[in-house]
Amino acid sequence: MKFKAMTALAGALAMVTGGALADADDDTLTINEEIEIITKTDAPAYIDGLSELISGWHFRSDETQQLETDDFDNPGMLGVEAAMEVWETADGSEGKSCADCHESAEETMVGVRAVYPKWNDNAEAVWTLEMAINGCRTERMGAEAWKYDGDDITNMVALISSVSRGMPMSVAVDGPAQATWEEGKELYYTRTGQLDLSCANCHEDNYGNMIRADHLSQGHTNGFPTYRLKNAKLNSVHARFKGCVRDTRAETYAPGSPEFVALELYVASRGNGLSIEGPAVRN
């Protein structure tokens, strides 16, 4: 059954590809002339559908790619700057700021983005970076939780990502996180909506192809939060997932829902080995 479909698709693709258009380019990415970014690497063994991992950066135009090479040109860095101020600002009933507990983000937050989503022992659940940030706000600062995919939290995730740029993504897929990972994998391959499409249909079977004017990437999360030229702001992982699911004419899951947390863990693990780029620039 599957075989028939696969060969038909392979035949169809052989007919239309061959142009340079279909491929990820061979450019290399260095940010601020010092941070070298791994944008292509071997896929981890537990990912069946990909042999080489390719950052979404390779599928963008030269002009868009260029914006990510220098922090002065990267509009996503404005969100990072805004978060640096918030980092130092006390909030909530305890009168504490992030800096009161964590000192300088440039030092204490290095490497954090690489391992999230991550199992949290106290909560006995996999936590995204957003959940960890809101955990500090509600439990330690006595402040209100930020909206899961609002600007405040997305800027803060961008700050925490930015200090790990260049480091390879390395989320854990085994141990206590494994059940959540399996759940995410299931969601990744489930076809949804009236268009009946799964993440894999677009980002595993068809990356490199054009869906109308959109050049399909492998759909990795190493560049998040991404500054999108389309909506001129930083976008969180779950906001992107929501948009992609909506585009299958499906009922989406909510940002911060257990389903999207599981999906984020699985999708992040598909990118293990690619460097963190966030805040990346995309269209």
Partner 1 sequence: MKRAISAAIAASILAVAANAEAVAPSDVAYDEYGAVAASLSGQPGNAEEGATAFGSKSIGNCVSCHAVTALADVPFPGNVGPSLDGVADRWTEAEIRGIVANAKKTYDGTIMPAFYQVDGFTRPGKAYTGKAIAVEEIEPLLSAQQIEDLVAFLVTLKEE
Q: What amino acid occupies position 203?
A: H
Residues in the interface with partner 1 (CB under 8 A) total 40
CB of 249 to partner 1, least distance (A): 5
Instruction: Tell me: does residue 247 bind ligand HEC (CB under 6 A).
Output: yes
Give the span between the Cα atoms of 220 and 226, in whole angstroms: 11
Residue closer to ligand HEC by CB (options 107, 232) is 232
Choose among 208, 213, 211, 237: nearest CA to 225: 237
Instruction: Tell me: does residue 241 bind ligand HEC (CB under 6 A).
Output: yes
Task: Evaluate whether 236 touches 227 at the Cβ level (below 8 Å).
Answer: no
**Hey, what are 150's tokens?**
């609002």
Q: Count other C-beta atoms under 10 Å from residue 111's C-beta.
A: 12
CB of 204 to partner 1, least distance (A): 11
Helix (H, G, I), strand (E, B) or coil at 277: coil
Q: Which of 72, 107, 174, 213 binds partner 1 (CB under 8 A)?
A: 213
**Where in 18-57 is the site for ligand HEC (CB under 6 A)?**
56
Q: Where are the beta strands (DSSP E) in 100-236?
A: 118-120, 125-127, 210-211, 214-215, 226-228, 233-235
Residues contacting residue 111 through CB under 8 Å, at least 6 positions apart:
164, 167
Stretch that binds ligand HEC, among 18-26, 99-107, 125-133, 245-253 (CB under 6 A): 245-253
Checking DSSP bridges between strand 210-211 and strand 125-127, what pairing results, if any? unpaired
Q: Which residue is nearest to ligand HEC (CB)?
A: 56
Q: Which chain residues interact with ligand HEC by CB under 6 A?
A: 5, 8-9, 12, 56, 59, 197, 199, 201-203, 211, 214, 216-217, 219-221, 223, 226, 240-241, 244-245, 247-248, 263, 267, 282
Q: List residues near partner 1 by CB under 8 A.
A: 1-2, 4-6, 8-9, 11-12, 15-17, 21-22, 190-197, 201, 205-206, 209-213, 216, 242, 245-252
